[in-house]
Structure 1
Amino acid sequence: MTRQPSSLDWPALLSDLMERAAPLLDEPHLESMRDGLTSLTPVLILGSLALLLRELPLLPWQRMVTEHAWIARWLQALFKLTFGCFSLYVVCAVSLRLAQRKTIQPAWPTGLAVLVFGLLTIERLRPALAARFGPENLVLALVVALLTVEACALSVADAQVSPETKSTPREWHPVVARALLSLAIIGLACLARLLPSLTAFNTLLGLGDHLVSLLSSGPACVLTEVAHSLLWVLGIDGNLILGSALQPLLTGNAVANGLARWSGQAPRWIYSDLFRVYVVAGGSGTTLPLAIYLSRSRSQRLRQAGRENLRAGFFNRNESLIFDTPIIFNPLLAVPFVVVTGLNATAAYVAHALGWVTPAYIYLPRALPAPLSAWLSTGYDVRALALSIATWLVIPAIVWLPFFKVWERRILLSERLGGDEGTQP
């Protein structure tokens, strides 16, 4: 019995989809935000170290901190200079990265962006400035960084094509252009800050707060994570598209949780960059149980793929498994890949919403195994450890098993018939 040809040309459709998505993968503003925020991970880990030491559940350590006040002061200084100044670092990192993409000298636009951001966030125009450089102004920091660099890039382009005059030396043209543009941008920033009733400054900030609340909701969390998985199934890294757009939101929520915890308040935001340790534990699709199944398969090819990727799965790396099995462009294995992500996101969000688990607020290296990362990132919450084990092994193991069995039978049949082991039977 011959297989009927499909009425749709799937390779052509997928090729066209990837061609349309290619510009998004290299979009300079999204890439600058992604790279800039990623470069700040060591800064957040340093601030998280202060949180870990402050909440270390050891009585001798707690007694020593109480007796030696300088330890608490140093921990507070480390935390305030990292988490407390997060938006300021974002302005520097994003404007620097975008200036490099625009092939202009980064010192001028980066310094100008920092100055504008400071003018827009200070409480009072006095010598003793009280600034708000925390995550509450993250949206403003991104807007200032992107717009300032774009304005500087236009100025540089105009200066390069402007006609030279005999009365002005050639080297003075870019200097004058930069000075005039800087004064204009600073003037607009002062106007927006001093006359909020005549501008949309406060309105835009309010809209940004509402947008953060909307995108941090439970339905948005589940839909976003499922979309990540769907992109992976099509051979597109979801972090390069959705991750680039949402990383400022997720990182800002995690930093806000850390600041709240330091102040003695309960962390507010459930969906953050650290929440994904429950959703994609072991990598996208939570494929560690699949790697375990593959390592015990009767098929030599599947057994080899499982054993090669088993160790990487413990440290949240599974790109090789996704391509070796393969999962991309594979309708059978795509189903559990997406379903597991949706179930994990739903279960984890509900557990947090019911107050069973503390929202994460401590940044750690991403290579840590999921249960250890969940336990530490929530301030040593044992309930987070239990939830992580459930979303890391229990739920994925149940979902992946029947689909693995079907896929294994297909591969074994293909091997017995002498077919190509590397193709989908």
Structure 2
Amino acid sequence: MNSNSKFMDLLERVLMPIAEKLNNNRYLTALRDGFLVALPLIIFGSIFVVLANLPFLDQMISESAFAAYQEALGPASAATLSIMALFVIIGIGYKLVEHSGGEGIYGGVVALAAFLILTPQMVEETPGGIPTSALGAEGLFVGIITAFVAAELYYFFVKKDWTIKMPAGVPGAVTRSFSALFPIALSLTAFLIIRIIFTFTPFVTVQNFIYTVLQEPLTVLGGGLPATIVAVLLIQLFWFFGLHGQILVNSVLDPIWYTLNNQNLEAFQAGQELPNVVTKQFIDTFIVGIGGSGMTLAVILGIFLIGRSRQMKQVGKVSAPPGIFNVNEPIIFGLPIILNPLVLIPWLLAPVVVCVVVYYSMLTGLVPKPAGIIVPWTTPPLISGFLATGNAWQGAVLQLVSMFIVFVIWWPFLKVMDKQYYEQEQAEEAAATTETEKPSN
């Protein structure tokens, strides 16, 4: 076994068990599915943020008309993006209980109610109100933890059969509702006790405790370049072994990236300086959003420019249309990229180089930071870069530069692959010709 095979074998033995555990973990699955439940609402709100901040519109109409225009569109984002934690919480509670075999809807509502019990119900010293900031990015970590605990508590009481039994003949909806009464009541009572206990601590609220002990350190770590590079490398490595790296890594890091994303969105809407470079859209638009994981749209362009072999040309033709919309399974399996030692170096190196270039381009102010606007992942490159940076042309140019970087890194490796395929095809054609020209007996 050569050194390359040994390295591949080592990677497979180390990564595969980790990936399998992550993929089968029901908490991470519920977390991922919870965000997917919220995604349509988040995208809806993001679309109206874009519309409310169309370029040059403030110069084309009067100041009062522009303010009225933004005020008219404001409720779309206020009712979705500003309270996104609520949708994620419902999704997590629903999916976690459903995965265990229970009534998912009750998992969702008990998770939401538990979170609201823990949330400070005071707005500017006026009791009875809940600040929307606590329902958005600031409340996301508390919401995720609460959803996990509340859903598990609820299902624990259900399994213990601490339920009200209704006589035969009662409609099914009524029976299910009463069966959920005791488990929900016991679960929510536990959270009310937790809230009361925290009022006697220096933190006063669970939110302050979670933010100080967990959310702030993790957000700072996840928003840094080193942690982002590690995340990008893991995405690439998992994909190399045929596992959906994006789903696996996003399941762990999405809470951090969405929190950073919403902080930027709030600053963008307030006209303030954007605080974060690394956000959900930093990853989705400027790393993954250029043809899919590994930014393979640039690889497809390279195939069209240098491909001589029939196999490469065919892969390029098949992969190009979906690649424009960031679907890259055809090239991942067709080139192939999975378990192909020839492409391991560019597959790992190109996204890391682009990550560093994009990070410092935004950190230095050369390109605006992501504005917190969630751009649908199927949006073609250049358009997505323009939208994600708050309608800034520099975002589109940065994506174009990133594609060029990927193209340059992949160029020599594509040349080697194409040469191998071409020579193999020529040899097969020569063998077929020779076989045909043999005299018959």
8 A Cα contact 2:195 2:206, kept in partner: no
**Superposition deviation, residue 143 in structure 1:** 0.3
8 A Cα contact 2:154 2:187, kept in partner: yes
Q: 1:174 to 1:237 in 2, by over 3 A?
A: closer
**Superposition deviation, residue 160 in structure 1:** 7.4
Say whether 1:245 aligns with 2:246: no
Q: How does 1:22-421 map to 2 (within 5 A)?
A: 22-59=20-57, 63=61, 66-67=64-65, 70-124=68-122, 126-131=127-132, 132-159=134-161, 175-193=181-199, 195-197=201-203, 202-206=208-212, 207-276=214-283, 277-280=285-288, 281-295=290-304, 297-360=307-370, 361-392=372-403, 394-418=404-428
Please list the CA deviations of residues 79-113 of structure 1 after superposition, one character each: whole Å capped at 9, or x if unmatched: 21122111122211221221221221133332222
Q: 1:65 to 1:119 in 2, by over 3 A?
A: farther
Secondary structure of 1:322's counterpart equals helix
Secondary structure of 1:373's counterpart equals helix
Structure-1-length-normalised TM-score: 0.87
**Superposition deviation, residue 343 in structure 1:** 0.6
Q: Give 1:78's aligned amino acid.
A: A
Please list the CA deviations of residues 277-307 of structure 1 after superposition, one character each: whole Å capped at 9, or x if unmatched: 2223111111223212334522111111111
**Superposition deviation, residue 352 in structure 1:** 0.9
2-side partners of 1:128 and 1:16: how far apart? 50
Please list the CA deviations of residues 243-279 of structure 1 after superposition, one character each: whole Å capped at 9, or x if unmatched: 1111121122212211111112122111111112222
1-side partners of 2:163 and 2:54: how far apart? 60
Q: 1:314 to 1:159 in 2, by over 3 A?
A: same
Instruction: Point out the more displaced range, 39-48 or 196-205.
Output: 196-205
Q: 1:303 to 1:159 in 2, by over 3 A?
A: same
Q: Give 1:321's aligned amino acid.
A: I
8 A Cα contact 2:223 2:277, kept in partner: yes
* Aligned residue pair count: 412
Q: Cα RMSD (Å) of the superposition?
A: 3.2
**Superposition deviation, residue 150 in structure 1:** 0.9
Q: 1:18 to 1:219 in 2, by over 3 A?
A: closer
1-side partners of 2:228 and 2:128: how far apart? 43
8 A Cα contact 1:48 1:362, kept in partner: yes
8 A Cα contact 1:120 1:193, kept in partner: no
Q: 1:16 to 1:377 in 2, by over 3 A?
A: closer
Q: 1:313 to 1:159 in 2, by over 3 A?
A: same
**Superposition deviation, residue 338 in structure 1:** 0.9
Structure-2-length-normalised TM-score: 0.84
Please list the CA deviations of residues 306-362 of structure 1 after superposition, one character each: whole Å capped at 9, or x if unmatched: 111012222111111011111111111111111110111000001111111111121
**Superposition deviation, residue 126 in structure 1:** 2.2
Q: Unaligned 5+ residue runs, structure 1?
A: 163-168, 420-425
Please list the CA deviations of residues 370-406 of structure 1 after superposition, one character each: whole Å capped at 9, or x if unmatched: 11111112112122121111012x1011111100111
8 A Cα contact 1:192 1:201, kept in partner: no
